[in-house]
């Protein structure tokens, strides 16, 4: 029984591969020959016969191209070495057109379709003509529908549009960010004025942030690219909260835990209110004594959290991660761990996102600032020593090779901001919002570009990234353009 099934599946795979080959051959022939040419007629006949045979056992068929492999339904096709070479050419051709999948539904259509080759040739022509189009797959999909080719659906590999958010959603995200900033500022200023401060407002904001992280985290992450010299600590605290919550969501923390993590993020650097400003903003390296003062801020954060007006058990749960945020995975860092106890899970999360936000933030005392992709590269070197390895991997994966907000320079001279990481489809490169320099030394928004798009003739990427920068190098605030 099992043998019979395997035999049947094998036969189906062979037929599907033959169908694809026939289609490819036909497309190539249609570029040179007329419809009445014997090669065309023969090719169309082959395609038709394969389709008929396949339709005898199943009314539908899916052929999918993914990561250099061809799948029939969920099964990967395997070929002999010679055949693999030919199928590789074929794969690259369909990939270059942006086609991810052919879904055939022979159903009731097949008998009529096969009465003559016209309908098959319509599909062939559509594909061959689309090669010239900037986004071939969109043209093919649209024309298939126009031509009422109901028996075939072409699924695009790449999207022709980046994700679009409604103005209302953007507004909500923007407001939540502003409230969070406001609340951190309020807590800090009340604390520095020795006044009592409650955290009910901050808790409410953390709850709103959880809702946004659960639904709109890419949009929220765009806002976490906001960097300013002036209000660095406030922005940094909110950014750390956002990134920590986004990372927490990736490792499936509950909503309740995400809320606590967000609060820890917002309050982690509270202790900096006790550090004199000339040390906090000192250009250049701190002296030994100054660094000792600086190092106190994580313990002070925990101490100040205890002073907040809130139930004791609630506060108790917020102490440890801020206390640990400058510790390292190998227990170096500060404050030194005397008991050689592993860092808490939340402390490990904070330590990763804190370093990332800090090294990608321009500071008054630092001339150069690292592009986000390079920052991740450097952090990767600290995997297993500075940072918890699994969390760091998830974090890097979450941000993508070029994190949102990175400024890219392309080989054709275009430049722009990474607006979205590659989707789960076969996109390998991000979407970029082109920035066009204006006469006043600023920039205006250009078009959204899909950097995964390939030239259908050569199979090469249309545009290549030659360099990446931190947007502040050009005085650019990504959220001004991306939001």
DSSP assignment letter at 99: E
Sheet holding 152-156, edge to edge: 75-76, 69-72, 60-66, 99-105, 152-156
Cα–Cα distance, 359 to 381 (Å, whole number): 14
CB closer to Fe ion, 113 vs 269: 269
Count, residues near Fe ion per rule CB under 5 A: 2
Reading the block at residue 440, the tokens are 């006043």
Cα–Cα distance, 222 to 479 (Å, whole number): 6
CB closer to Fe ion, 70 vs 243: 243
Choose the binding region for Fe ion from 64-72, 144-152, 354-362, 430-438 (rule: CB under 5 A): 354-362
Query: At its nearest, how many Å lie between Fe ion and the CB of residue 236?
Result: 6
How many other CB atoms are there within 10 angstroms of residue 148's CB atom?
A: 10
Binding mask 214-253 for Fe ion (x = CB under 5 A): ----------------------------------------
Cα–Cα distance, 184 to 270 (Å, whole number): 9
Q: How deeply is 263 buried, as exposed, middle or buried, from its count of CB atoms within 10 A (0-12, 13-18, 19+)?
A: buried
Phi and psi for 199 in degrees, rounded to 5? -125, 15
Cα–Cα distance, 383 to 426 (Å, whole number): 28
Choose the binding region for Fe ion from 57-65, 100-108, 243-251, 269-277 (rule: CB under 5 A): 269-277
Choose the binding region for Fe ion from 43-51, 120-128, 346-354, 434-442 (rule: CB under 5 A): 346-354
Choose the binding region for Fe ion from 6-14, 88-96, 264-272, 282-290 (rule: CB under 5 A): 264-272
DSSP assignment letter at 284: S
Query: At its nearest, how many Å lie between Fe ion and the CB of residue 235?
Result: 11
CB closer to Fe ion, 322 vs 430: 322
Choose the binding region for Fe ion from 77-85, 329-337, 353-361, 389-397 (rule: CB under 5 A): 353-361
**For residues 417-436, which are near Fe ion according to CB under 5 A?**
none
CB closer to Fe ion, 21 vs 268: 268
Angle at CA of residue 44, ends 40 and 49, nearest 5°: 150
Cα–Cα distance, 324 to 349 (Å, whole number): 10
DSSP assignment letter at 146: H
Query: At its nearest, how many Å lie between Fe ion and the CB of residue 390?
Result: 22
Query: At its nearest, how many Å lie between Fe ion and the CB of residue 322?
Result: 8
Query: At its nearest, how many Å lie between Fe ion and the CB of residue 244?
Result: 11
Binding mask 173-212 for Fe ion (x = CB under 5 A): ----------------------------------------
CB closer to Fe ion, 160 vs 337: 337
Query: At its nearest, how many Å lie between Fe ion and the CB of residue 269?
Result: 4
Closest C-alpha among 76, 131, 125, 67 to residue 100: 67
Choose the binding region for Fe ion from 2-10, 50-58, 267-275, 312-320 (rule: CB under 5 A): 267-275
CB closer to Fe ion, 22 vs 267: 267
Cα–Cα distance, 182 to 107 (Å, whole number): 61
CB closer to Fe ion, 324 vs 354: 354
Would you count residue 269 as binding Fe ion (CB under 5 A)?
A: yes
Choose the binding region for Fe ion from 144-152, 268-276, 380-388, 397-405 (rule: CB under 5 A): 268-276
Query: At its nearest, how many Å lie between Fe ion and the CB of residue 464?
Result: 36
Chain centre distance of CA 47: 39
How many other CB atoms are there within 10 angstroms of residue 336's CB atom?
A: 10
Query: At its nearest, how many Å lie between Fe ion and the CB of residue 297?
Result: 6
Query: At its nearest, how many Å lie between Fe ion and the CB of residue 273?
Result: 12
Reading the block at residue 341, the tokens are 């106890």
Given 217, 259, 354, 427, the residue binding Fe ion (CB under 5 A): 354
Contact 436, 414 (CB under 8 A): no
- Strand ranges, E, within 357-420: 407-410, 415-420
Through-space distance between the first and last CA atoms of the chain, rounded to whole angstroms: 59
Residue 313 — left, alpha, or beta (φ > 0 → left; ψ -120 to 50 → alpha)?
alpha
Q: To which residue do tokens 């159903």 refer?
A: 107
Query: At its nearest, how many Å lie between Fe ion and the CB of residue 279?
Result: 13
Cα–Cα distance, 113 to 353 (Å, whole number): 58
Choose the binding region for Fe ion from 14-22, 92-100, 253-261, 349-357 (rule: CB under 5 A): 349-357
Query: At its nearest, how many Å lie between Fe ion and the CB of residue 259?
Result: 19
CB closer to Fe ion, 162 vs 382: 382
CB closer to Fe ion, 324 vs 427: 324
Choose the binding region for Fe ion from 266-274, 313-321, 389-397, 438-446 (rule: CB under 5 A): 266-274
Query: At its nearest, how many Å lie between Fe ion and the CB of residue 326?
Result: 6
Core vs surface per residue 15-48: b (16+ CB within 10 A) or e? bbbbbbbbbbbbbebbeeeeeeeeebeebbebbb
**Under the rule (CB under 5 A), what is the footprint of Fe ion?**
269, 354
């Amino acid at each position: 029984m099992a043998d019979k099934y395997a035999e049947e599946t094998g036969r189906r795979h062979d037929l599907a591969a033959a169908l694809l080959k026939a289609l490819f051959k036909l497309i190539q022939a249609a570029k040179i020959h007329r419809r009445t040419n014997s090669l065309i007629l023969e090719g169309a006949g082959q395609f038709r016969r394969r389709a008929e045979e396949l339709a005898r056992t199943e009314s539908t068929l899916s052929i999918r191209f993914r990561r250099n492999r061809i799948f029939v339904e969920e099964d990967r096709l395997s070929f002999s070495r010679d055949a693999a070479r030919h199928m590789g050419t074929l794969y690259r051709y369909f990939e270059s057109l942006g086609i991810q999948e052919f879904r055939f539904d022979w159903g009731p259509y097949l008998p009529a379709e096969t009465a003559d080759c016209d309908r098959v040739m319509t599909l062939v022509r559509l594909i061959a003509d689309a090669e010239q189009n900037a986004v071939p797959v969109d043209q093919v999909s649209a024309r298939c529908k126009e031509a009422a080719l109901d028996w075939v659906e072409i699924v695009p590999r790449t999207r022709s549009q980046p994700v679009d958010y409604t103005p209302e959603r953007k507004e909500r995200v923007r407001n939540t960010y502003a409230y969070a900033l406001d609340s951190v500022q309020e807590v800090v200023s009340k604390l520095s004025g020795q006044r009592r401060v409650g955290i009910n407002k901050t808790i409410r904001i953390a709850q709103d942030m959880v809702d946004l992280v659960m639904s709109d985290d890419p949009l929220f992450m765009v806002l976490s690219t906001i960097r300013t010299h002036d209000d660095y600590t406030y922005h940094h605290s909110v950014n750390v909260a956002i990134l920590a919550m986004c990372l927490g969501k990736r490792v499936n923390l509950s909503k309740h835990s995400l809320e606590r993590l967000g609060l820890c993020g917002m309050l982690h650097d509270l202790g900096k209110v006790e550090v004199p400003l000339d040390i906090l903003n000192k250009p250049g390296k701190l002296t030994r004594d100054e660094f000792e003062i600086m190092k106190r801020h994580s313990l002070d954060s925990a101490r100040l959290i205890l002073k907040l007006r809130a139930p004791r058990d609630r506060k108790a749960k917020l102490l440890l991660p801020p206390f640990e945020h400058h510790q390292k995975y190998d227990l170096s860092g500060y404050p030194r761990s005397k008991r050689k106890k592993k860092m808490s899970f939340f402390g490990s999360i904070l330590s990763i996102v804190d370093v990332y936000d800090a090294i990608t933030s321009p500071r008054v005392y630092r001339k150069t600032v690292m592009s986000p992709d390079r920052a991740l590269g450097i952090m990767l070197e600290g995997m297993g020593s500075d940072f918890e390895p699994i969390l760091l991997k998830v974090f890097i994966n979450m941000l993508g090779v070029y994190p949102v907000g990175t400024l890219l320079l392309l080989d054709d001279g275009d430049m722009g901001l990474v607006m979205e990481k590659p989707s789960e489809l076969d996109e390998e490169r991000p979407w970029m919002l082109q920035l066009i320099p204006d006469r006043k030394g600023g920039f205006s928004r250009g078009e959204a570009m899909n950097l995964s798009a390939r030239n259908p003739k050569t199979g090469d990427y249309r545009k290549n990234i030659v360099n990446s920068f931190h947007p502040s190098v050009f005085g650019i605030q990504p959220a001004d353009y991306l939001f």
